[in-house]
Every structure is written in structure tokens, then in C-alpha cells.
Amino acid sequence: MRQIILDTETTGLEPAQGHRIIELGCVELVNRRPTGRTFQRYLNPERDIDPGAQAVHGLSGEFLSGQPRFAEVVEDFVAFIAGAELIIHNAPFDVGFIDHEFGRLPPPQRLLTDLCTVLDTLALARQLHPGQRNSLDALCKRYNVDNSNRDLHGALLDARILADVYLAMTGGQAALTLQARADDTTGRRTTQVKRREPVSIPVIRATTVELEAHERALDAVSKAAKGRCLFRSGPPVANS
């Protein structure tokens, strides 16, 4: 099973307002193990960056003006991700931006879901932890994943962190240690995810005597409630 953990950085929040991708970051997993293969590109968006977005990722227009355009890296990007399952946190955001970039290219038209299947770890986290904070930072804290180098967001750095979170959130991996560059300036980091030990849960069934006592109690409840006893859903089952 080949999976690609993917993240993007952008000039702003809405592709419909002309915002563009400025960084692509991907980490490859095969059979739930990091292979060491990554894909990372900074991109020239050919437009200004919103101040709020720049405060998040720290990438300046001056730096990005010397980087390739999306059209110049798209074939390498497609070759890296094609046929894999993409693991993305808040997938609609990144998928929307990538499809917007595809839409700016000459025909034939492509969509990301034509190339890959997509799993949204934000939707998965909301299922596993309803009513709780499920941002990437919150999940790092919940699953003891080291994100101490995340002073600024970066697509490749965030993809590496999400890989650790995803493996922990979906069952962990024995003796997982990633030694990897966080980005061009922050050096190396080590993330350790401990495998959860299996838990044996005993099932203790009621004895015949206990079931009979339970039925007598339900008879009393039913009598007091004039026959409306919600706790009586079917016949008792005793140990054989």
C-alpha cells in the first residue's frame, strides 16, 4: 500500500480570489513505513502574499519570485503522487487549491481525485475525538508527537509531522523513529511514536440467579410505570 502525506502553503485562503500555492510538500509511506522519499517545491505564485498568510509560513514574495511556477513542476508532482492514497489534514482546502492550479493549465483538464484517492485526517480525527480540538498541533499533543520545530508552517515539515500523527492515530507503528530535516533552516528532529499495546478486556456474564433477580426488579419497575419499562428490550440470556 502506497500512501503520500501531502501539505501545501498558499498566498491566502481562497483560490476563487486568485490565491495560489507557494509550496508543495509530500512524504511517501509504503505499507505504513516511511521510505525516505519526499517531494518538495517552492513555487512562484506570480502575485502578492496576504500578510496573514506570510505570518503563518514566513515565505516572502521576494524569495518566491526566483522559484519555478506550478506549470514547470506539475509533471514531477503528478509522477510522485499518481496512484497513491493521499493523506491530507483538512483535505478540501489543499485539494481545492491543487485543482485550481490544474485548472490554470492547458487542456486536458485534470482533477486530483482522477489521480489519487484522498483520506482527510481532520474528518477522521473528528470521528475519533468528537467535540475536541483536532488541529494538527492539538493532535500532536494528544498523540505525543514532537512538533517543537513548528514555529512556522512549512509544507514538507507539516507533511512529516502529519505522517507521525496519522500512524499514531490509526494504530501506531512499532519502533518508529524518523530522523529528517524539518526544513532548510531548522536542522534535524527526532519523532518517536510508541505502539499501543493490545488490551485484553474480560467479558463477565450474569449468572442465572443474577438474571432472575434483575427480572424481578424490572417487574417492579414495569408495575410502577404501568407497563412502560424501557429497560426490558428482550428475554434474558443466562450462562449455559
Active site residues: 153
β-partners of residue 6 are 26
- Distance between CA atoms of residues 92 and 84, nearest Å: 17
* CB contact at 8 A, 140 and 149: no
Closest CA to 165 of 130, 196, 125, 131: 125
Do the Cβ atoms of 173 and 149 come closer than 8 Å? no
DSSP string, the chain: -EEEEEEEEESSS-GGGT--EEEEEEEEEETTEEEEEEEEEE---SS---HHHHHHH---HHHHTTSPPHHHHHHHHHHHHTTSEEEETTHHHHHHHHHHHHHTSPSSP--HHHH-EEEEHHHHHHHHSTTS--SHHHHHHHTT---TT-SS--HHHHHHHHHHHHHHHTT--TTEEEEEEEETTTEEEEEEEPPPPP------PPPHHHHHHHHHHHHHHHHHTTT--TT--S------
